[in-house]
Structure 1
C-alpha cells in the first residue's frame, strides 16, 4: 500500500532571549509560533479497525504534540541554562513564571531539532516523523526533515 503523509498544525506563544546575539533578539521577547508536524506511514488496511484508512488519528497526533511541545512551551520563557540568563530565569521562576531551561541557544533552528527528538520518541510503530516546520514570524521559519538527518 502507498505511503501517505499527514500534517497537523499547532500554535503557541513562547518567549526567549538569545544570549550573546548582536541584535535585538538578545532581549527577552516572544513569538506566536506555528508548528506544522508531518508524519508518514501506511493507512491501516484492516477494515475491522476503528482507525481503518488512517495513517494515524489526527487526535492521537495532537495528543503527542500537545503533551511534548505545546503544553510545555506555551506561555513559557526559554533560556539557555549555560548562560548568565540563568540568573534571570531563576528570578522569574521565584515569581511564579513558567521558565524552561535548555542546553542550547533557543533559536527556531535548535527548537525544531528538540521538538523532532521529543515527537519521534512518542510515535507508534510504523509511523515516522517526516518533517517539522516551526514558524517564528509571518516570514521566518525553520524546517527539519528526517531525510536530511539520516545517520
Structure 2
C-alpha cells in the first residue's frame, strides 16, 4: 500500500447554535485540510493519482463549498440570523463542528476518487492547535 497527502486551506465562518459559550456566536477560522489517499499499487504512470487531479477533486467538492462561506445548521434560529447576512451560506443538517465537517468532506472526496484510489485519512485543523481526524 502506498499513500500521498496534499494540504489545502480555506477560510470559513460558522456558529454552533447548541454551544453554551462563545462558539454560539458567528466566528471564523483559517482551516487547514490534509487529504491522504492510498492505492494498493502504483499505476502505469508511476503515480497512484496526480496531485493536480487530487487538487481538482478537492477544489470542486470541498473548497467551492466552504471557502469564504458561512456554515450553519438548518434551524429556525439560524434562518432568522441569516436574513441579515449578505454572504454565501452552506446549510448543514447538523452543527458545523470539525467532526461534522470531516464527515461531509469524507463523503464528497471518497465518491469522487477514481478507482483504484481510496481515501485513507483526513485531518482538518480549525486552529493551529485544534483539529479533527478521520481515518479508514
Provide TM-score, normalisation by structure 2.
Answer: 0.96
Q: Whole-Å Cα distance in 2 between the matches of residues 130 and 83 of structure 1?
A: 36
Partner of 1:60: 53
Q: Whole-Å Cα distance in 2 between the matches of residues 4 and 90 of structure 1?
A: 48
Rg larger for: 1
Counterpart of 1:70 (choices 63, 70, 92) is 63
1:84-119 superposed Cα distances (whole Å, 9 cap, x missing partner):
112212332xx3x11111111100011001000010
Alignment of 1:2-151 (within 5 A): 3-41=1-39, 42-44=41-43, 46=44, 52-92=45-85, 95=86, 97-146=87-136
Q: Whole-Å Cα distance in 1 between the matches of residues 61 and 75 of structure 2?
A: 23
Give the SS at the match of 1:134: strand
Provide TM-score, normalisation by structure 1.
Answer: 0.86
Gaps in structure 1 of 5+ consecutive residues: 47-51, 147-151
Q: Whole-Å Cα distance in 2 between the matches of residues 23 and 10 of structure 1?
A: 29
1:48-80 superposed Cα distances (whole Å, 9 cap, x missing partner):
xxxx11010000000000111112100000000
Contact 1:17/1:25 (<8 A) preserved: yes
Report the count of equivalent residues: 135
> What CA RMSD, in Å, does the superposition of the two structures yield over aligned residues?
1.0
Contact 1:131/1:143 (<8 A) preserved: yes
Give the SS at the match of 1:53: coil
Runs of 4+ in 1 over 4 A off after TM superposition: none
